[in-house]
Amino acid sequence: MPAVAESIDATAEVQGCLSKMAIMPGKKGEAARYTLRVGDERLALNACLGRPLALAWTGAIACTHCGRATKKSFAQGHCYPCFKALAQCDTCIMKPETCHFFEGTCREPEWAERHCFQPHIVYLSNASGLKVGITRGTQVPTRWLDQGAVQALPVFTVDTRQQSGFVEMLFKEEVSDRTNWRAMLKGDTFEMDLPAERDRLLSRLDGGLANLRERFGADSIRLLDEPPVTLDYPVLEYPTKVVSHNLDKNPEIAGTLLGLKGQYLILDSGVINLRKYTGYEVRVAA
């Protein structure tokens, strides 16, 4: 990635390739702080709320890994050769329980050792209702903010990504692993008692968890005792009907910025998931 520049003024025009928005949790009682990353420029988005914002795709896409031009983006910002070659684009990233490292077929064993053989968290969250998820321990609370969760509760810490996948599979017998993004963007989320939900699920999954501990070791799946986390987002107004912008179909979008949640911009003209367009070269006027 290029060197990070200082945040530019809220009134500016910049051009470059999109990266996913950087999100920092707000201080207690404050909303998360969003930064738009366009090439090596940074735009503090919270200051743009209530103001016009326009994005125009130039038609160019650059691979976020190798930098080569590509006509189509794969796996959120990769060219096809990188998509086929990189471990981070393999199907086992989405389905960790299918890890094939020990079969000797991992695309990048050294990358896997740095990313997959690290402590992972299995968590419950509430973005559009109760869901289970996994993430590296270093990605808390970034993962929850990226998903637009308003509540989150770490449940287990495990030694590897594969182990987290097996635990998640157990939980998926009782609870979804997906977010209803339309409900999330409408703000249709009610507060939940996550510790009570955790306890309910643990009682139902006790046998399966015992089997996993027998397989991987008694100390491989460790129950956490942490309080739930509450997350807030800078939203002036939630949409009553969610209309989604698509840069591939309409390369120019504009509207008043009404909110920021997950990796979405909420405009009065519709919403757009910026992470979907990682690597797209855009002009941004704010």
- Name the residue among 270, 262, 207, 218 with its Cα closest to residue 243: 270
Tens-place pLDDT, residues 130-155 = 999 999 999 999 999 999 999 999 99
Q: What is the largest CA-CA distance in the chain?
A: 58
Per-residue pLDDT of 146-200, as tens digits, reads: 999 999 999 999 999 999 999 999 999 999 999 999 999 999 889 999 999 999 9
- pLDDT value of residue 21: 98
Interval 96-107: pLDDT, tens: 999 999 999 999
Show Cβ contacts of residue 279 under 8 Å, excluding neighbours closer than 6 positions: 17, 18, 61, 62, 63, 64, 70, 73, 76, 77, 78
Look at residue 89 and give its three-state secondary structure: helix
Question: Buried (b) or exposed (e) across 213-241, using 16+ Cβ within 10 A?
Answer: eeebeeebbeeeeeebbebebbbeebbee
Place of tokens 């959120």: 76
Instruction: State how far the Cα of 40 lies from the Cα of 34, in Å rounded to an integer.
Output: 16
> CA-to-CA distance for 125 and 188, rounded, in angstroms?
14
Q: Report pLDDT for 11.
A: 54
pLDDT for 3 equals 35
Q: Which residues contact 211 (CB under 8 A, 6 or more apart)?
A: none
Characterize 258-276 residue by residue with b for buried, 16 or more Cβ atoms within 10 angstroms of its Cβ, and e for exposed. bbbbbbbbbbeebbbbbbb
Rounded Cα distance, 154 and 195, in Å: 10
Q: Prior bond to 2 cis, omega within 30?
A: no
**What residue type is assigned to position 225 of the chain?**
D
H/E element, 84: helix 80-85
pLDDT lower than 70: segments of the chain: 1-11
Q: Cα–Cα distances in Å, from 15 out to 34, 37, 42, 283, 286?
A: 18, 10, 11, 4, 12
Q: For residue 279, what pLDDT is reported?
A: 97
Q: Cβ(191)–Cβ(197) under 8 Å?
A: no
CA distance 103 to 85: 17
The rounded distance, in Å, linking the Cα atoms of 136 and 158 is 10
What is the C-alpha to C-alpha distance for residues 152 and 234, in angstroms, rounded to an integer?
18
Q: CA 215, CA 138: separation in Å to the nearest integer?
A: 26
Q: Are 55 and 252 in contact (CB under 8 A)?
A: yes
Count of beta carbons in the 10 Å neighbourhood of residue 185? 23
pLDDT score at 7? 46
pTM of the shown model: 0.93
The chain-wide mean pLDDT, for the chain, equals: 94
Total length of the chain: 286
| CB neighbours of residue 277 within 10 Å | 25
